[in-house]
Structure formats: structure tokens, C-alpha cells
């Protein structure tokens, strides 16, 4: 057996939230939408987002592609036209 | 108008990938634009700054891997204002400030949030 | 609004080209302009004219070319990131004396719709445009 990946996991979902502030939006894109399949951690993530006034949206087609249903009323599924509008509405986009 | 603020975030360790080398290229260009440039090391990115990296291989018949991380020491001379390191990334890897090859500023998540908020542009590597 | 797009994900191995293209098309459809699409790191591989996906697969290179032709959007490849990965125009192949000895042949591997520039072009465009959007 060979291990060539780092031992240290990246906390992909929670970390951007630590750096996000009121009015920011977190878009789950590509494999980001897999977060919708983590019932235990996603609930606390969404609670923290709500508390810090950060909204969460997920790319509709990336969910569809992967056969993932959105069971969370707090998460809006968006299309690319909405992604464009989000970029216009916020002063910068950061890809984590 | 004051100089625009550009932040370059490095999240990956060196050598297994070209991320550090190509981040450094971008940082040096940013600094040449007279921008207000700073760099933030997160996660395994803190290993970019680990002291005592040794590129001398046990097999001297092969060319050594380029020790590009020396450039981090010189960033100050190129006008890069600050190297920030996330405190918890360093601690989680059993490292302290004295294990690093250059002087840095340790920051917690609250400071990183403020740092990111004041940037005009953020590049992530 | 004016967007500067940065693409860093590899051709075929990542969804980067697909996501970036969908975004660019949506932005153009909404009346926004794209000052350039800049390819850096592994993203430079999205300019390889010799890419040959299967018939039923997404053809990133052709899709970029088509988008660029329809919208007059410049497609810019980082020169050093490209050369390190064998992505070169015919001119670069000759300049570097690679010629017939090169895996890419003397034609160059870079699709002619793409141009090469330094990282200065990325920074210049990010200063001049209103938003930078990155696709990894």
C-alpha cells in the first residue's frame, strides 16, 4: 500500500464559512453539492450560516448530474444565470 | 487612489504539485504591479514555509528537485507586504513560528475574515 | 458588467472547462462582457488543439473556440505554464528549437484561437475589469 495524499484533511465546507460575513453567499458548485448528502454536519453548517447571515445556494445541474436531491428549504438551487447575478451582486468571488 | 489590495492564498504543500511554484510566479507579478500584496498560508500550505527543506538527494546522479521555496524568504525584497499563516493550520501540524523559514504574522479565523473582506482581489492556489 | 475569467482546472480530468463555459455563456446571454478568459496552471491544457474526446463526450477545446468566435472573447494562455506542459504555438516551438524533435511536432499544440501572454495580462485584466471569476 502506498499513501501519497496528505494526512491532513481539508475542512472544505466549514472553512469558507469562517471567513464569510453577513450578506455573503456560498455557492456549492461541482463536487461542492455533495455536501447535500451529509445529514449530520450540514444541519450545524446551515445553522451557523443562518446565524451569520450567510446564504447558501447549490448549482442545480451539478445536483442533477450526481442524482442528488435537495432536502433543505434553506438552500436554493440555482442555474448559471443566477450565478452570474450573484457575481454582479457581490464585490468579489473566491473559489475555494 | 491608494494601491489595490491583492491576497494570494496557498492551501497545498510543496513538491507533490506545482501549486507553490505557480503561486509564487503570480505573487511576484502582482508585486511588480505596485499592488498591496500579501500571502496567506492555510492547511497544508503552511508546509511551503517549513524550515530545513533539503533538496540534496541520496542519489546524486539525478538532478535535484528545485527548492523553489527559498523565494518566500525574498518576497519582502520584492515588495510583498505580509506573509500570513493561519494559527490553527500550524498548530494542527505540530509546528510553531520558529519552524518556519521566514518571518510571518500568525492570524486566527476572525483576522482572516477581516483580511479577506478588505481585499480587492483574492487568488486561491 | 465586465468580467475577467481565470481557469485553472485540467482538460478532461476536471469539470472546470464545463463550469467555466456555462458561466461565460450565461454572462454573455445576460449582456455582460468578458474581457478575457485566462488559462493558468493545469488550465492551459484546455487549449490543446490535439485533444480528441470521444464523440459523445464534452469537447472543451472546440467549445471554447466556438464561444470565442461567437462573442469575440480573447482566450489567453499563460506562456510559462503552457511551455512547462508542452502547450505551445508553432512560433514558440521554433523559438525553442524543438521542431521535429518535439512531441507536439512543428505545428505547435496550441489551438490558433488561443494567444499566449504572461501573468501580467491576468493582473492587468483583473485591474481593468469589474469582477474576476475563478474556475478550478
| Count of CB pairs separated by less than 8 Å, B with C | 32
List pLDDT tens digits, range A2-50: 888 888 866 667 788 889 999 999 999 999 999 999 988 899 999 999 9
Domain that holds residue A37: 2-89
What would the grid cell of residue C121 be? 495580462
- Cα angle B108, B109, B113 (rounded to 5 degrees) comes to 125
Does residue B123 have a pLDDT over 70? yes
In C23-99 the beta strands, taken as DSSP E runs, fall at 33-39, 75-78
Domains, in order of start, for chain B: 5-124 (3.40.1260.10)
The pTM score is 0.96
A80 to chain B, closest Cα gap in Å:
22
- Give the span between the Cα atoms of A47 and A31, in whole angstroms: 21
Does residue B87 have a pLDDT over 80? yes
Q: Which of C78, C81, C93, C104 is catalytic?
A: C78
Adjacent-strand bridge partners of C2: C33
SS3 C122: helix
What count of other Cβ atoms lies within 10 Å of the Cβ of residue A90?
Answer: 13
Inside any domain, residue A80: yes
SS3 C114: strand
The verdict on A81 touching C (C-beta cutoff 8 Å) is yes
The verdict on B121 touching A (C-beta cutoff 8 Å) is yes
pLDDT at C100: 64
C24 is catalytic: no
Partners of C67 on chain A (C-beta within 8 Å) are: none
The residues spanned by each domain of chain C are 2-135
Inside any domain, residue A94: no
List pLDDT tens digits, range C75-125: 999 999 999 999 999 999 988 888 666 555 568 999 999 999 999 999 999
The verdict on B113 touching A (C-beta cutoff 8 Å) is yes
Does residue A82 have a pLDDT over 60? yes
Architecture of domain C2-135: 3-Layer(aba) Sandwich (3.40)
The verdict on C85 touching B (C-beta cutoff 8 Å) is no
Are the Cβ atoms of A96 and B124 closer than 8 angstroms? yes
What count of other Cβ atoms lies within 10 Å of the Cβ of residue B65?
Answer: 12
Does residue A92 have a pLDDT over 90? yes
SS3 B110: helix
Are the Cβ atoms of A81 and C32 closer than 8 angstroms? no
pLDDT at A41: 87
Q: Chains meeting C at 3+ CB pairs closer than 8 A?
A: A, B
Instruction: Say which CATH number the domain at A31 has.
Output: 3.40.1260.10
Inside any domain, residue A95: no
Inside any domain, residue A12: yes
Number of domains in chain A: 1
Inside any domain, residue A96: no
List pLDDT tens digits, range C48-72: 999 999 999 999 999 999 999 999 9
List pLDDT tens digits, range B38-68: 999 999 999 999 999 998 878 878 888 899 9
Amino acid at each position: 500500500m502506498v499513501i501519497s495524499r496528505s494526512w491532513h484533511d481539508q475542512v472544505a465546507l466549514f472553512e469558507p464559512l469562517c471567513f464569510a460575513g453577513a450578506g455573503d453567499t456560498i455557492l456549492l458548485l461541482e463536487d461542492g453539492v455533495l455536501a447535500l448528502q451529509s445529514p449530520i454536519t450540514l444541519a450545524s453548517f446551515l445553522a451557523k450560516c443562518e446565524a451569520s447571515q450567510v446564504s447558501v445556494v447549490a448549482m442545480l445541474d451539478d445536483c442533477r448530474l450526481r442524482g442528488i436531491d435537495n432536502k433543505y428549504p434553506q438552500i436554493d438551487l440555482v442555474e448559471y444565470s443566477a450565478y452570474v447575478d450573484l457575481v454582479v451582486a457581490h464585490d468579489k468571488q473566491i473559489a475555494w | 487612489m491608494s494601491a489595490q489590495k491583492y491576497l494570494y492564498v496557498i492551501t497545498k504543500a510543496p513538491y507533490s504539485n506545482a501549486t507553490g511554484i505557480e503561486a509564487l510566479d503570480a505573487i511576484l507579478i502582482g508585486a511588480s504591479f505596485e499592488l498591496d500584496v500579501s500571502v496567506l498560508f492555510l492547511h497544508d500550505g503552511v508546509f511551503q514555509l517549513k524550515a530545513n527543506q533539503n533538496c540534496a538527494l541520496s542519489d546524486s546522479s539525478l538532478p535535484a528537485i528545485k527548492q523553489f521555496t527559498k523565494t518566500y524568504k525574498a518576497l519582502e525584497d520584492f515588495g510583498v507586504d505580509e506573509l500570513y499563516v493561519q494559527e490553527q493550520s500550524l498548530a494542527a501540524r505540530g509546528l510553531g513560528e520558529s519552524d518556519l523559514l521566514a518571518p510571518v504574522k500568525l492570524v486566527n479565523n476572525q483576522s482572516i475574515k477581516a483580511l479577506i473582506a478588505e481585499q480587492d482581489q483574492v487568488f486561491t492556489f | 458588467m465586465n468580467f475577467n475569467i481565470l481557469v485553472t482546472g485540467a482538460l478532461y480530468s476536471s469539470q472546470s472547462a464545463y463550469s467555466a463555459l456555462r458561466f461565460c455563456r450565461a454572462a454573455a446571454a445576460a449582456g455582460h462582457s468578458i474581457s478575457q478568459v485566462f488559462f493558468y496552471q493545469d488550465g492551459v491544457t484546455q487549449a490543446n488543439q490535439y485533444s480528441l474526446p470521444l464523440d459523445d463526450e464534452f469537447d472543451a477545446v472546440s467549445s471554447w473556440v466556438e464561444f470565442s468566435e461567437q462573442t469575440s472573447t480573447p482566450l489567453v494562455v499563460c506562456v510559462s505554464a503552457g511551455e512547462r506542459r508542452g502547450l505551445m504555438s508553432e512560433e514558440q516551438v521554433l523559438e525553442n528549437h524543438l521542431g521535429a524533435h518535439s512531441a507536439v511536432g512543428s505545428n505547435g499544440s496550441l489551438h490558433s484561437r488561443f494567444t499566449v501572454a504572461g501573468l501580467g495580462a491576468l493582473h492587468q485584466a483583473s485591474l481593468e475589469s469589474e469582477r474576476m471569476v475563478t474556475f478550478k
